[in-house]
Structure 1
Amino acid sequence: MNIPSLEYILSVTYLWIKAGHVIFVIFWIAGLFLLPRYYIYHQEAAPGSQEEKRWIERERRLRTIIITPAMILTWAFGLTLAWQGGFLTSGWLHAKLALVIGLTAYHGWMVGYGKKLARGVRPASGRTLRLMNEVPGIATAAIVVLVIVKPF
């Protein structure tokens, strides 16, 4: 009995892997749009109030159930696609990876900020959080241009 090679399996499943990548990118970016908004509302809640406790729980669930798993699956599917598609030496992919690494760092910063909020520390202003809310949109627009146009 012939066992199919990994390359054969990946070539047959390439479009499924690509679909999975796009699906989890959407989940991740949607969560990254939503999380700073949650933090803005959280900061406006009275410290120690029931409303603040509800925001802490909402934020925790968003981070642990949606955003972090989506980020991990985005990376897994994306790296598989880059390897399978032979894009590892492409300049556009290197630029995309730099932006995705930046988004991953932003994700980490947002997770850390949420943990500070849960402890009652509010180091950033609402204005700063509103500006931070723009990061995923700008990065996503640049990534889409790199993937679709492949300028280099």
Structure 2
Amino acid sequence: MLWIKALHIFFVIAWMAGVFYLPRIFVNLAMETDKNTTARLLLMGRKLYRFSMWLSVFAVLFGAILVYMQYGVHMPGWLHAKLTLVVLVIGYHHACGPILKKFERGENKRSHKWFRVFNELPVFIMLAIVILVVVKPF
């Protein structure tokens, strides 16, 4: 079980790095006017989105194995809350795909300030997840 937990933690960290950085690329894209730099940022964004999507699959897979091994179908309340937040992070990550497509088509209407706020959302969700896992408040 410790191997599964180690792999879960590794893939979560790697996935979250992508989830934290991709919106930062959006901030830069929203401010950029140079076509060459924009093309480079779009390439980085596409690659990061795809790569972090695969990392999320493994994070969720190893997490599901851990939940099954430890609790079966009788999960404590804190775990229900954690899994709800994980679904929110998955939704956030998936929402980045259409945003990236808008940048590729030159259709983005949002400012870099909006993306700076958008960039902070997964940080707070991840903080709540860590607190739930470590403190197990209920």
TM class, shorter-length: over 0.9
Counterpart for residue 17 of structure 2: 30
| Residue 94 of structure 2, aligned match among 108, 112, 116 | 108
Which segments of 5 or more consecutive residues in structure 1 lack a partner in the other structure? 1-13
Q: Which amino acid aligns with 1:35?
A: L
Query: 2: CA distance between counterparts of 1:50 and 1:15?
Result: 46
**Higher-Rg member (1/2):** 1
Which deviations, in whole Å up to 9, do the C-alpha atoms of 1:78-105 show, x marking residues without a partner?
0110001116421111000110000111
Alignment check: 8 A CA contact 1:87 1:93 kept:
no
Counterpart for residue 70 of structure 2: 85
TM-score for both structures, normalised by structure 2: 0.94
Which segments of 5 or more consecutive residues in structure 2 lack a partner in the other structure? none
Counterpart for residue 128 of structure 2: 142
TM-score for both structures, normalised by structure 1: 0.86
> What SS does the corresponding residue of 2:107 show, helix, strand or coil?
coil
Q: How many residues are paired up? A: 137
User: What's the C-alpha RMSD, in Å, of the aligned pairs?
Assistant: 1.2
Counterpart for residue 71 of structure 1: 56
Counterpart for residue 21 of structure 1: 8
| Residue 36 of structure 2, aligned match among 24, 41, 50 | 50
Query: Is residue 39 from structure 1 mapped to residue 26 from structure 2 by the alignment?
Result: yes
Instruction: Give identity over the alignment, percent.
Output: 37
Runs of 4 or more, structure 1, over 6 Å off, are: none
| Bigger RCO of structures 1 and 2 (CA < 8 A, at least 6 apart) | 2
